[in-house]
């Protein structure tokens, strides 16, 4: 069986996990701060979820980043 996940889904999964670990948060910690379920965090990090925009906004806020950063985009400073 081949992995048919969209590259953006894979990028989101890796970025959320990386940001969470860099902040020394468990999945449950992140879920609590983002006011969501730990199962959703797990599904996102495994690339199995298609989170809503509302969920992404909450996640980004809990991680202290802009939503675009969850997809690996860099902030551009002028």
Q: Model confidence over 9-47: pLDDT tens digits? A: 999 999 999 999 999 999 999 999 999 999 999 999 999
Residue 53 has pLDDT above 90, yes or no: yes
pTM for this predicted structure: 0.86
What average pLDDT does the structure give for the chain?
90
Q: Which among 6, 13, 14, 60 has a CA at the least distance from the CA of 33?
A: 60
Pick the CATH number of 7-65 from 1.10.10.10, 3.40.50.10170, 1.10.1060.10, 1.10.260.40: 1.10.260.40
CA–CA dist 48, 16 (Å, integer): 13
Domain ranges within the chain, ordered by starting residue: 7-65
DSSP string, the chain: ------HHHHHHHHHHHHHHHHTT--HHHHHHHTTS-HHHHHHHHTT-----HHHHHHHHHHHTS-GGGGGTPPP---
């Amino acid at each position: 069986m081949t992995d048919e996940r969209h590259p953006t889904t894979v990028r989101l999964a890796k970025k959320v996990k990386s940001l969470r670990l860099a902040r020394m948060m468990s999945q449950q910690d992140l879920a609590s701060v983002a006011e969501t379920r730990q199962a959703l965090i797990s599904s996102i990090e495994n690339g199995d979820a298609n989170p809503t925009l509302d969920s992404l906004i909450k996640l980004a806020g809990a991680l202290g980043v802009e939503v675009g950063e969850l997809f690996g985009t860099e902030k551009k400073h002028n």
